Chains A and B, each alone.
Chain A
Amino acid sequence: DAGVIQSPRHEVTEMGQEVTLRCKPISGHDYLFWYRQTMMRGLELLIYFNNNVPIDDSGMPEDRFSAKMPNASFSTLKIQPSEPRDSAVYFCASRAGTSGSNEQFFGPGTRLTVL
């Protein structure tokens, strides 16, 4: 397995533009997590899905952020409109269900810069 795949790896955009980040979890994993990492706040959970259903989105900073998981092999995180304070590294992670390990597998991240 190729591990968790994220795209793009880097994104530079201007304030006000829409940004879409993509994630392909490890095949067979039931859980998918979106995190944001900054120097100031560390790694923060934004939202997570179980079997494609959003379970907890309380970490999503505001209505400008939305996430979807239309099927078991694909998820998106969208920011519209983007702002400079959204600049961060965004990670997607997946893990197996209750029958598997608690270990989370992280993707390489998307470094977002909003000018």
Chain B
Amino acid sequence: SQKIEQNSEALNIQEGKTATLTCNYTNYSPAYLQWYRQDPGRGPVFLLLIRENEKEKRKERLKVTFDTTLKQSLFHITASQPADSATYLCALELNSGNTPLVFGKGTRLSVIA
């Protein structure tokens, strides 16, 4: 069966450290993988998109990797801050454009000062 799994429901780290979140999938062949941030009581907000032929993407303190052999994406936040505390969702887009996203359940990150 098709599955998207995010490594843990919750992750606690110390301020200043690098947070690493994992997204694994089975029986999918995504064209794109996206990461979203969701704060309590709000809708998800887009952060980054990485294509199947890209290994790594960066945006400010964020870095995403995409390994289609391992069927895994890693999402890193460097120099984490308490303001980074939120739930992070990975989402697969199965074809290049015109298709909906399939979301993981998310990992709730808490950055402790």
For the side of the interface on B, what is the size category? 20 to 34
Given A42-B106, A43-B89, A105-B101 contact (CB < 8 Å): no
Encoded as 1 (CB less than 8 Å from any A CB) or 0, chain B from 12 to 47 comes to 000000000000000000001010000001111110
What residues of chain B lie closer than 8 Å to A98, measured between beta carbons?
A: 97-98
A21 within 8 A of B: no
Contacts between chains A and B (CB distance < 8 A), count: 49
Encoded as 1 (CB less than 8 Å from any B CB) or 0, chain A from 12 to 49 comes to 00000000000000000001010100000111110010
A1 within 8 A of B: no
Are A91 and B106 in contact (CB-based, < 8 A)? no
Are A42 and B49 in contact (CB-based, < 8 A)? no
Within the complex, the shortest CB–CB distance from B25 to chain A, in Å, comes to 14
> Within the assembled complex, what's the spacing in Å between the Cα atoms of A103 and B34?
8
> Within the assembled complex, what's the spacing in Å between the Cα atoms of A103 and B100?
11
Are B97 and A108 in contact (CB-based, < 8 A)? no
What residues of chain A lie closer than 8 Å to B104, measured between beta carbons?
A: 42
Q: Count residues of chain A with CB under 8 A from any CB of chain B.
A: 24
A93 within 8 A of B: yes
Are A107 and B34 in contact (CB-based, < 8 A)? no
> Within the assembled complex, what's the spacing in Å between the Cα atoms of A41 and B103?
10
Among A35, A102, A107, A109, the residue within 8 A (CB) of B97 is A102
What residues of chain A lie closer than 8 Å to B103, measured between beta carbons?
A: 35, 42-44
Select the residue from B49, B93, B97, B100 with max chain A CB neighbours within 10 A: B100
What residues of chain A lie closer than 8 Å to B71, measured between beta carbons?
A: none
What residues of chain B lie closer than 8 Å to A108, measured between beta carbons?
A: 41-43
What residues of chain B lie closer than 8 Å to A103, measured between beta carbons?
A: 34, 46, 49
What residues of chain A lie closer than 8 Å to B98, measured between beta carbons?
A: 31, 50, 98
**Chain A contact residues, CB within 8 Å of chain B:** 4, 31, 33, 35, 41-45, 48, 50, 56, 91, 93, 98, 101-109
